[in-house]
Structures are given as structure tokens and as C-alpha cells.
Copies of this chain bind each other. A is one copy, B any other.
Amino acid sequence: MTLDELTTPALLVESAAFEANLAAMAKALPGERLRPHVKAHKCTALARRQAALGHRGFTCATVREMEGLAAAGLGQDLLLANEVLDARRLGALDARVTVAVDSPETVAAAADGGVGEVLVDVNVGLPRCGCPPAEAGRIADLARRRGLEVRGVMGYEGHLQMLDDRGRREEATAESMALLVAAHADVGGEVISAGGTGTYDCNRVATEIQAGSYALMDTAYAKLGLPFRPALSVLSTVISVSEGYAVADCGLKALGMDHGNPTVEGAKVWFCSDEHLTFQPEARLAPGARIRVWPAHVDPTVAYHEAMHLVAGDEVLERWPVDLRGW
């Protein structure tokens, strides 16, 4: 199958960039040093590639992602790096399941739902989930009293992922991780789970890094100068051409927009509508021409699509269902 046979908009994964990204990460963080985050791609076919390189534990953000990986036979060691108040679907999985807890309520939910193992989620500076570092030991004690195995701690330094000065990113990550180390001393266990694509090689504390974006990348992460290349674009058809601009069929429902407009090579993007991208190309295009649109944020882009296509040049090598969408 070739690119021109695809219905647009269509998610493309450039094979060369993708394979290079996976290889670079597997070299930097081999085996269990990386616990790939599947939220970035929501795709068991892609997760299988990561597992084949030795990363057999996965990080998830939703119960649906956990269920999908378990059903795909990738349930050797699944971490839901997020809080849930109803863990019954997790308890029912045929997989090794660990869930993050940060409150008496989430500890109770894990125990009541039949989950066996937890990590205590610690706030390391991002105002999101996680208990204060000083309370981590208390949460761990509570979990143990409820019969849960406490494997250790997690803490996501998400507020530091996009710091573009590498020195500052390293320094801030060290400060953030000092909080996690202190909490870990109170909690115990073997696991210190943290990190992301932006801090994958700055974080000296984590026993495992939860990076996900490195596989596909996006234009926001690309600014950091990491050894990973953007691999994910949206193939789009030019459907209308006017004096000074053109319109392609790739709009708000094919692109995560929270990081702003996508990028089109050799063109200036004007704006997106529901199903349209209005842009100003350097050279006049004809209706029917196909362009590649590079999203600013991969994760919410992927979540709009039913499938992604691994491609090399004009050839479509594989079609991968985006099978971990929803909740």
C-alpha cells in the first residue's frame, strides 16, 4: 500500500525516525531502566516494539490503557501512574498491576478493588497529583495495613520537562528528586519511578524512567535538542486553493491544540477550524496535493485517530490501531 491510498487525515509514523528513537532510548536506558509511558501513543502495536527492545514494564495514565495492554499480553508489570477511586477493573486484570496512591481514599480504592501493589505518589513540584513528601510514609503505612504491597514511590517532575536550558533542567530535576528521595526513605521499597522524555538523562535518582514522548516526539519537545526526532505527522489533502493561501483537511479534530498550531514545512500556518487547516504555502499548491502536518503535541493528537501508519518513503509498512483510547 502507498501513501496515496490512505484516506486523509491519516497519522503517519516515519519508520526511520521511529526506529532511531527507540534504539537511542534503549541504549541510554536499557531494559527495566525505562518503563515506557503508553499515554503518548495509546497503541499496543507500538508498545510491543518497545517490549521487544527489552522494556517489559509499562506506565499508563488510564484504566483503559491498563486493560488494553493486559489483553495484548503485555501485562508483565503494569503501572497506573495515576490515582483512581474505583480500582475494580484493575483488580480484575490478568496482569501484574501496580497503582499510584496519594491519599487514604485512593489506598482504600486499591485495596477494595483487589489490586495487590502500589507506589506512593509524591508531589515533587508539579501542582497535580501526589501527597506532600512528608506524608508519604504515612500513606505507605496505611497501605501496608490494608494488605497492599508498597513497591516504592513515584513522582513526576512534569513542570521541568520543557525547560530548554539543559543545565537548568538538570539542576531543577536534582532539586525535585531530592524531595522524592526523602519520601522514599520513609516509604521503603525498591522502586523510585519518575522522569519523562525531557529529563530522561538528567534524572539520576529514578530507578526507572516513565518517558513516552521519545518514540514519536512532537514540535514542542523537538526544541530541547534531545537525540530523538519527530516521527509523527498527519498526512493531509489540499482541498481548496485561493489567492495567497490553501486549505487542507486536517483540523481541530485531528490535532491536539493545547500547545498551539501545528507546523507545515515550507508554509506558514494561519489557523485551524474543525476539519480545516488554512495555511500560506511558499509555492502554489493544487487541490489534491498532499502535505504533512506536524502536531505541536503528540499525545492529544493521537487520541483523535483510529490508527497510525508506519511508513517508509511512499510505502505504508504497517497499520497500527490506536487501541487504547477512551477510559
Contact = CB atoms under 8 A, between A and B. Distances in A.
Interface core residue of A121, A256, A274, A305 (most chain B CB under 10 Å): A274
Contact of A253 (B103, B130, B247, B303): B303
Nearest to A305: B326
Contacts of A299: 252-253, 274
Identical subunits present = 2
User: For the side of the interface on A, what is the size category?
Assistant: 35 or more
Nearest to A243: B132
Interface stretch (A82-90, A176-184, A214-222, A309-317): A82-90
Contacts of A85: 237, 239, 287-288
A114 interface: no
A39 B89 CA distance: 33
A236 B130 CA distance: 18
A183 to B, nearest CB: 15
A230 interface: no
B257 A128 contact: no
A282 interface: no
B61 A239 contact: no
Contacts of A249: 82, 327
Contact of A83 (B102, B239, B327): B239
Given A62-B275, A82-B275, A85-B287, A247 B128 contact: yes
B274 A127 contact: no
Interface in A208-261: 237, 239-243, 245, 247, 249, 252-254, 256-258
Contact of A61 (B257, B274, B325): B274
Contacts of A199: none
B9 A127 contact: no
Contacts of A83: 239-240, 247, 287
A303 to B, nearest CB: 4
A272 B258 contact: yes
Interface in A150-172: 158
Contacts of A270: 127
A275 B247 CA distance: 31
A249 B245 CA distance: 39
Interface of A: 7-9, 39, 61-63, 82-85, 102-103, 105-106, 121, 123, 127-132, 158, 237, 239-243, 245, 247, 249, 252-254, 256-258, 270, 272-276, 278, 286-288, 297, 299-300, 303-306, 325-327
Given A39-B275, A82-B239, 13 more contacts: A83-B247, A105-B287, A127-B278, A128-B247, A128-B273, A129-B276, A130-B240, A253-B299, A253-B300, A253-B325, A274-B300, A303-B304, A305-B326
16 contacts: A82-B249, A83-B287, A85-B287, A103-B240, A103-B241, A105-B288, A106-B287, A127-B245, A128-B247, A128-B273, A128-B278, A129-B276, A132-B243, A252-B300, A253-B325, A306-B326
Chain A to chain B: the 6 pairs with minimum beta-carbon distance, closest first: A105-B287, A83-B239, A129-B240, A257-B258, A253-B303, A252-B300
